[in-house]
Amino acid sequence: MRFMLPNLANITPQLSYQYQQDNCAVLYFEQTQLKQLAQQYGTPLFVYSTQHIADSLSIYNQGLANHKHGIYYSVKVNSNIHILSLLHSLGAKFDVVSKGELQRVMYVGVAAKNCVFAGVGKTQDELLFAIQNDIGCINVESASELYRISELAQSINKIAPISLRINPNIDPKTHPYISTGLQENKFGILTKEAYELYQWAHGQPNLEIKGISCHIGSQLLDLSPLLQAAERVVEFAQSLQEIGIEIEHVDFGGGIGISYQQDESEKIAQLDWQNYFSNLTRIVPKDIAIHIEPGRSIVGNGGVLLTQVQYLKKQGELDFAIVDAAMNDLIRPALYQADHQVVELQQHVNDSVASKKFTVVGPVCETSDFLARDKELKIREGDYLAMLSAGAYSFCMSSNYNSRLRAAEVLISGEKNTLIRKRETFENMIANERIT
């Protein structure tokens, strides 16, 4: 017998509990039992769903099916080469923000022409590498960067394809650390300056103007700021066309949010995707391609972090569940005050253990090392937990703080599981260190 818990179904449909003969319910991801994975590979362990990734990508392709478009997956969100290879096989292109990310996608067989290079601080070495490998487009963030690109392209007798990232000064109504479209943010170029830079670039023989780009922020649960930004970008594109500068594409970045908690699930459920895509294709002329750079909305809810309870500790009025995962594995709660859902991998139906509100913490020597607060759990020492919505900005932001080894990663497809990153060893961790 299988049943869906509402708080799981709304966050990640591929997660469900299944009753076992011993009168307990075990958590499954697709058709894979997560407790078995935790025991097989150890914890902490990141697990990703193939089905979720494929389904999420298809939402964008179906929504823009009647308009020339490109879906450029944001590599910074989750850069495991197996995930990149999977997305490549599904027809995705890629948004990179460093030479290393470009090398990753090229390593899995993606031509640089199918990538856009974004980021506010590209170095000379990074730009040269991108131009030499025929990058699809460079999203330019400043006048100085534009001049540098022109000089580098000229020095190797190449033509660099460019798009200026304009800052539309729109409030995305999200966490201030992930807001990028306001005038006080470091990203993009204000439209007046961008207009002058486009005119300058139009006269440079080693630059080819491809488009206009824009990104206003991440974890957006309201689509109206995105459509507002789209209108401003298209208006700007039309002003360029009036002076003879043709635009092939407009790049609206990413930013659509995911469900971390029940209240966000309700907001996500209310998002009118059909209305968003129909308005986007109405705003953008048919002869201009629409580029989107989703990341979190592709993989965020498609990943979980498995961890084992080491100790239960009563401290005054608080109950702590001390687990073997920590802020070095999942820094989002400490960095962004992110609130991830936490669930048991096994729930005993008839059990004498009382349900309590726990603060879930790790072993790192920092007060900020917490993974979740005030979570209703029914657990013993030795039980396993799943941190949900851990597919984005999770492993890729992990570290070796406290000389902790980075976790393993597994990709599941139905009942099949594939180890896509081995657990780090001590030898891996110190490989580049030297004793003089």
Amino acid type, 24: C
Q: Per the residue annotation, which of 24, 115, 214, 365 is the catalytic one?
A: 365
Q: How far apart are CA 357 and CA 174, in angstroms?
A: 28
Q: How far is 166 from 71, CA to CA, in rounded Å?
A: 20
Smallest CA-to-CA distance from 200 within 210, 209, 190 is with: 209
Q: Is 137 a catalytic residue?
A: no
User: Residue 207's closest CA among 172, 240, 245?
Assistant: 245
- Residue (of 82, 52, 31) closest to 419 by Cα position: 82
| 90/93 Cα distance (integer angstroms) | 9
Whole-number Å distance between alpha carbons of 15 and 412 = 12
Rounded distance between C-alpha atoms, residue 416 and residue 375, angstroms = 31
Residue 59, burial from CB neighbour count under 10 angstroms (0-12, 13-18, 19+): middle
Crossing angle (nearest 10°) for helices 81-89 and 99-107: 60
DSSP state of 293: -
The whole-angstrom separation of Cα 188 and Cα 211 is 14
**Cross-strand pairs, 160:** 207
Distance CA 259, CA 268 (A): 7
The rounded distance, in Å, linking the Cα atoms of 21 and 29 is: 19
Question: How do strand 45-49 and strand 69-74 relate by DSSP bridges?
Answer: unpaired
For residue 70, what are its two tokens?
A: 């490109």
Give 230's strand partners. none
Q: Which helix (H) or strand (E) holds 213?
A: strand 207-213
Tokens of 401: 């703080």
Which residues are the active-site residues? 365
